[in-house]
A and B are shown apart, each in its own frame.
Chain A
Amino acid sequence: AQTVTQSQPEMSVQEAETVTLSCTYDTSENNYYLFWYKQPPSRQMILVIRQEAYKQQNATENRFSVNFQKAAKSFSLKISDSQLGDTAMYFCAFMKSGANSKLTFGKGITLSVRP
């Protein structure tokens, strides 16, 4: 079974600063996907970024980037130039490759961006 660990329950960052959210996972699979989802207060969960394990290059989406360390089973999210709208709960998630696989979520981290 896979596990996803987000050890920091909450973090705070000043607007325009950079923040890194940590995530580690445990799996015996070699082919899988990793995700970061964002859930703003009382709003819809949306996908922030995804990474295929077979790709060595770290995924990037505008101000969001990941540091994927496959050997260390680490998948951190870096948010650059933090904005007030980044305030949300962030979930790291794992899915093994293959038909009918399911997502395994971490407990989430609450990020607050201070003005």
Chain B
Amino acid sequence: EADIYQTPRYLVIGTGKKITLECSQTMGHDKMYWYQQDPGMELHLIHYSYGVNSTEKGDLSSESTVSRIRTEHFPLTLESARPSHTSQYLCASSESVGKPSQDTQYFGPGTRLTVL
């Protein structure tokens, strides 16, 4: 398994709370991604980063924000959680261009978020 970690694994929180989902990888990958996945459904890219101080919004609009201050760390923040944010959030990373397997994304175990 790849060395990519997410915390917490499960989070139940009340509406209006600020939350940060942590993602870190020890592989030195330049590229990192956040996906949102509803139960039994496809993955949607919500944020990605190609390196430090680089962040972009993905295909699915999200009220969350991300930061990339360090290569290994890519946290996702919700300023005010709402029930519509209830979902599973998957973090992934991949090698930079020119490296072997640059196209392969490695996934973390996910954070299952429930907003009451």
Q: Which residues of A pack against B, CB within 8 Å?
A: 33, 35, 37, 43-47, 50, 89, 91, 95, 97, 99-103, 105-108, 110
Contacts and interface: CB of A to CB of B under 8 A. Distances in A.
Contact of A46 (B31, B40, B45, B107): B107
Contacts of A50: 103-104
A48 B59 CA distance: 24
A106 B42 contact: yes
Residue from B42, B50, B104 whose CB has the most chain A CB atoms within 10 Å: B42
A100 B109 CA distance: 23
Interface string B54-95: 000011000000000000000000000000000000101000
Given A45-B90, A110-B40, A103 B45 contact: yes
A44 B108 contact: yes
Nearest to B105: A103
B46 to A, nearest CB: 12
Given A35-B104, A47-B104, A50-B103, 20 more contacts: A37-B107, A44-B1, A44-B107, A44-B108, A44-B109, A44-B110, A46-B1, A46-B107, A47-B105, A50-B104, A91-B42, A95-B103, A99-B97, A100-B31, A100-B50, A102-B45, A102-B58, A105-B42, A107-B41, A107-B42
A68 B103 CA distance: 18
Nearest to B96: A99
A101 B58 CA distance: 12
Contacts of B33: 102
A85 B67 CA distance: 36
A78 B31 CA distance: 30
19 contacts: A37-B107, A43-B109, A44-B1, A44-B107, A44-B109, A45-B90, A45-B110, A46-B1, A47-B105, A47-B106, A50-B104, A89-B40, A91-B42, A97-B103, A102-B33, A102-B48, A102-B58, A105-B42, A105-B43
